[in-house]
Amino acid sequence: MLGLAAVPLIADVIDEPFYTVMFSRMLILSIGAISLNLILGFGGMVSFGHAVYMGIGSYVVGIGTFHAIEDGISWMGNGLIHLTIAVVFSALTALFIGSISLRTRGVYFIMITLAFAQMFYFIAVGNDNYGGDDGLSLYTRSKFYNILDLSNDNSLYYLNFTLLIVFLYFSHRLINSRFGILIRGAKSNEKRMENIGFPVYRYRLVAFVIAGVICGIAGVLSANQTDFVSPAVMHWTRSGDLIIMVVLGGMGTLFGPVIGAVAFLFLEEFLSGITEFWQIIFGPMLVLIAIFGNGGIDGILVRLDKWWQIKK
């Protein structure tokens, strides 16, 4: 974690700002993966449409800055307003999707969340005012008065880094709170939880909304990072990527999603340097992790650590 804090400094010294951008992406996707892990890893809710909130956050920034520049409405470029609107819209969307999809289980839940995600995807594609299929370029990033200048990649990096720490700590508190214990209990035995008197549905719904909101905030960061918004951010394959990160890193562990997001982007970067068809290598690796890495990379690390202790 501390290593991540030093990335922009090192990148500046070796004069490779590209690394700051790459690690910045890792941090943002880590936040997204953390939010998904709350419902998938701890709550057992396999949402296949989590990128929707990433898209909502991104479009709030995209549309906001678009009007700020085109129509000169300066408050629409304000970062705090972007964050607020992204939080509200993500929460409402998650409430809507969750209230319907959480009535189903298993494969049906996966299919419904996927269907809703595709619905939002096509809304974005069809919206010609804001670039439709081609997307929308941001000519300026979110403005935070004079306190924080996001046009500087290093500032953005540290904003991402701070928020990642905040959400990591938040999820640590959450999963051990009464609420978290309830959500985890419902994952392992929903019937029993109902039986001892918990109205499981409404707690799951709140967890679903919390996860959506956090991912929406990641979306705000993501748009600022890439200076570009397009429907592709909420394509179902992006939702799939988030699931892969969580599973790769270790479902239901605190740091798993961060490890997963970092590993995912590293492999993408490294493998696509070897061959254009990098997924040919990535696919089998995932299969191996799924079969042998019970608990993802985090699980492997824990076991290595135990093995090391015994050896000593």
Residue 199 lies near another protein (rule: CB under 8 A): yes
The DSSP bridge partners found for residue 136 are 229
At its nearest, how many Å lie between another protein and the CB of residue 192?
5
At its nearest, how many Å lie between another protein and the CB of residue 252?
11
Count, residues near another protein per rule CB under 8 A: 24
What is the Cα–Cα distance from 32 to 262, expressed in whole angstroms?
Answer: 12
- Which residue lies nearer to another protein by CB, 167 or 203? 203
Secondary structure (3-state) at 75: helix
What is the Cα–Cα distance from 168 to 183, expressed in whole angstroms?
Answer: 18
Which region, left, alpha or beta, applies to residue 63 given φ > 0 means left and ψ of -120 to 50 means alpha?
alpha
What is the Cα–Cα distance from 242 to 267, expressed in whole angstroms?
Answer: 14
**At 228, which helix (H) or strand (E)?**
strand 228-229
Number of Cβ within 10 Å of residue 183's Cβ equals 25
The phi, psi pair for 78, rounded to 5°, reads -70, 125
- Which residue lies nearer to another protein by CB, 206 or 232? 206
Residue 189 lies near another protein (rule: CB under 8 A): yes
What is the Cα–Cα distance from 159 to 144, expressed in whole angstroms?
Answer: 11
Residue 177 lies near another protein (rule: CB under 8 A): yes
Residue 126 lies near another protein (rule: CB under 8 A): no
| Interface residue with another protein, options 46, 69, 165, 206 (CB under 8 A) | 206
Query: What is the sign of the dihedral through the CA atoms of 301, 305, 310 and 311?
Result: positive
- Which residue lies nearer to another protein by CB, 152 or 189? 189
Residue 165 lies near another protein (rule: CB under 8 A): no
The two three-digit tokens of residue 230, written as one number:
């397009």
| Interface residue with another protein, options 13, 196, 274, 310 (CB under 8 A) | 196
| Interface residue with another protein, options 19, 179, 236, 282 (CB under 8 A) | 179
At its nearest, how many Å lie between another protein and the CB of residue 177?
5
**At 136, which helix (H) or strand (E)?**
strand 136-137
Residue 299 lies near another protein (rule: CB under 8 A): no
Residue 168 lies near another protein (rule: CB under 8 A): no
Residue 191 lies near another protein (rule: CB under 8 A): yes
Residue 240 lies near another protein (rule: CB under 8 A): no
At its nearest, how many Å lie between another protein and the CB of residue 213?
13
| Interface residue with another protein, options 88, 200, 267, 271 (CB under 8 A) | 200
Q: Which residues have a Cβ under 8 Å from the Cβ of 146 and sit 6 or more positions away?
A: none
Footprint of another protein on this chain (CB under 8 A)? 173-174, 176-182, 185, 188-189, 191-200, 203, 206
